[in-house]
């Protein structure tokens, strides 16, 4: 059947959503073995997090918290579900605020709405770096704390638009001074780069398996410490081994198996993060040689980068396919990841790609520019 075939198979993939979620060889192997619905529940004794065969219990109680730099962990159905679990667990009565960075992902915003918070955003520094600074975070927190009850703060590390890594350590200290717990959204960090909540500060850390941990999805991770353990793991009164915030059990199938199967691979690859940053910076310089402008932090500290592309935008004004010309040209060259219709601004990721693959992407951009300028 045609839909079994993935159109982008074998393409050079620079889609930030996809570069960190490509499966390890071990994860590919478990896909079929554990593909049946509730496969992990063969020997369940009542809770996903307690299953010993396969060793989910060891993963959740030992390996994952060590990796995240926390005392406890849970597996969720995605980063957003982890954020919502925390937001919901902390939500009290009456009007309560959450303060979050203006670069936050929509899923943070929507999770906060679902949990019934009023939301205050810490705006970024705007063009060209779009940074979220601790100073601005402190101002907003202070302002909202004077007017109302701030229950939680959230920082996106890094954000999904510019790949900026805000100073979480400072922001965590600021939140602590206001007695406001901090949730670190590391959907683009956990599994790509070394990240430890113990070192960063803050009270909760969230990751995304399908985005950054070489896993099938949907699956996410949550790390937290003793101080909030009772709230996060609160049990049902009637079903004593079912945790309410996780609706009893979360990723009860093949996704958790891919997460576990990729774990060694992921733990090894984060140690090579310096190489990834160096490669991203090299790519950024080469793009700028072609007339593009990398926005966000510079020099950049992450593989996710946002570019302004005047040469491509100019072409799009005259090209036959208008702003779809770039997508078409890249597709022809078997490059995937820039959304159809984008030319003026777009983001991409260099994560896990070889220099040869990236050189191919750069050469393709150059070729396309020359073709239309000739
Ligand atoms: C910064 C950021 N956080 C969270 C998410 C959502 O992750 P998940 O699909 O695991 O809920 C995304 C997805 O694009 C993201 O970019």
Ligand 1, atom nearest to 159 Cα: 1
Cα 130 from Cα 124, distance rounded (Å):
5
Cα 150 from Cα 153, distance rounded (Å):
8
The 10s digit of each residue's pLDDT in 205-243 is 999 999 999 999 999 999 999 999 999 999 999 999 999
Continuous segment of H or E residues that includes residue 119: strand 118-122
Q: Which of 165, 188, 189 to mutate to test the pocket of ligand 1 (most atoms within 8 A of CB)?
A: 188
* Domains identified in the chain and CATH numbers: 25-261 (3.40.640.10), 271-373 (3.90.1150.10)
The reply to whether ligand 1 has any atom less than 6 angstroms from the CB of 185 is yes
Ligand 1, atom nearest to 158 Cα: 1
SS3 72: strand
The 10s digit of each residue's pLDDT in 18-34 is 999 999 999 999 999 99
The reply to whether ligand 1 has any atom less than 6 angstroms from the CB of 107 is yes
Q: Which two tokens stand for residue 229?
A: 């353990």
Q: Which two tokens stand for residue 316?
A: 């799009």
* Confidence (pTM): 0.97
Continuous segment of H or E residues that includes residue 200: helix 197-200
Of all protein residues, whose CA lies closest to atom 1 belonging to ligand 1? 160
Q: What is the Å distance from ligand 1's center to 370 Cα? A: 36
SS3 51: coil
Q: Which two tokens stand for residue 239?
A: 């079903």
The answer for 294, left when phi > 0, alpha when psi is -120 to 50, beta otherwise, is: beta
- Please give the span between the terminal C-alpha atoms of the chain, in angstroms, as a whole number: 42
Annotation: binding site for pyridoxal 5'-phosphate: 79-80, 185, 208-210
Ligand 1, atom nearest to 220 Cα: 10
The reply to whether ligand 1 has any atom less than 6 angstroms from the CB of 16 is no
Kindly give the confidence (pLDDT) of every residue in the chain, 374 residues in length, as a single tens digit, with 9 standing for 90 and above.
677 899 999 999 999 999 999 999 999 999 999 999 999 999 999 999 999 999 999 999 999 999 999 999 999 999 999 999 999 999 999 999 999 999 999 999 999 999 999 999 999 999 999 999 999 999 999 999 999 999 999 999 999 999 999 999 999 999 999 999 999 999 999 999 999 999 999 999 999 999 999 999 999 999 999 999 999 999 999 999 999 999 999 999 999 999 999 999 999 999 999 999 999 999 999 999 999 999 999 999 999 999 999 999 999 999 988 999 999 999 999 999 999 999 999 999 999 999 999 999 999 999 999 999 86
Q: What is the Å distance from ligand 1's center to 191 Cα? A: 13
């Amino acid at each position: 059947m045609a839909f079994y075939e993935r159109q982008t198979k074998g393409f050079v993939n620079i889609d930030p959503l996809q570069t960190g979620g490509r499966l390890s060889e071990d994860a590919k192997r478990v896909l079929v073995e554990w593909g049946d619905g509730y496969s992990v529940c063969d020997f369940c004794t009542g809770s996903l997090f307690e299953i010993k065969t396969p060793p989910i219990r060891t993963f959740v109680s030992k390996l994952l918290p060590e990796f995240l730099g926390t005392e406890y962990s849970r597996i969720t159905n995605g980063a957003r579900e982890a954020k919502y679990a925390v937001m919901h667990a902390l939500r009290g009565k009456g009007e309560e605020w959450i303060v979050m960075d203006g670069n936050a992902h929509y899923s943070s915003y929507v999770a906060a709405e679902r949990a019934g918070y009023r939301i205050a955003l810490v705006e970024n520094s705007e063009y060209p770096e779009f940074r979220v600074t601790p100073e601005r975070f402190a101002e907003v927190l202070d302002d909202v704390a004077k007017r109302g009850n701030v229950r939680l703060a959230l920082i996106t590390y890094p954000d999904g638009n510019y790949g900026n890594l805000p100073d979480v350590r400072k922001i965590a200290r600021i939140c602590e001074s206001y007695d406001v717990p901090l949730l670190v959204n590391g959907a683009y960090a956990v599994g790509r780069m070394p990240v430890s909540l113990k070192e960063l500060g803050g009270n909760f850390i969230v990751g995304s398996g399908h985005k950054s941990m070489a896993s099938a999805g949907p699956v996410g991770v949550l790390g937290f410490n003793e101080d909030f353990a009772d709230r996060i793991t609160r049990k049902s009164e009637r079903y004593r081994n079912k945790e309410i915030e996780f609706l009893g059990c979360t990723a009860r199938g093949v996704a958790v198996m891919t997460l576990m199967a990729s774990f060694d691979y992921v733990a090894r690859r984060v140690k090579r993060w310096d190489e990834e940053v160096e490669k991203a910076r090299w790519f950024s310089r080469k793009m700028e040689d072609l007339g593009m402008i990398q926005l966000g932090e510079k020099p950049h500290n992450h593989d996710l980068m946002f570019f302004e592309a005047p040469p491509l935008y100019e072409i799009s004004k005259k090209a036959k396919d208008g702003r779809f010309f770039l997508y078409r040209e890249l597709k022809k060259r078997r490059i995937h990841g820039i959304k159809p219709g984008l030319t003026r601004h777009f983001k991409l990721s260099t994560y896990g790609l070889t220099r040869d693959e990236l050189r191919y992407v750069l050469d393709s951009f150059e070729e396309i520019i020359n073709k239309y300028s000739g």
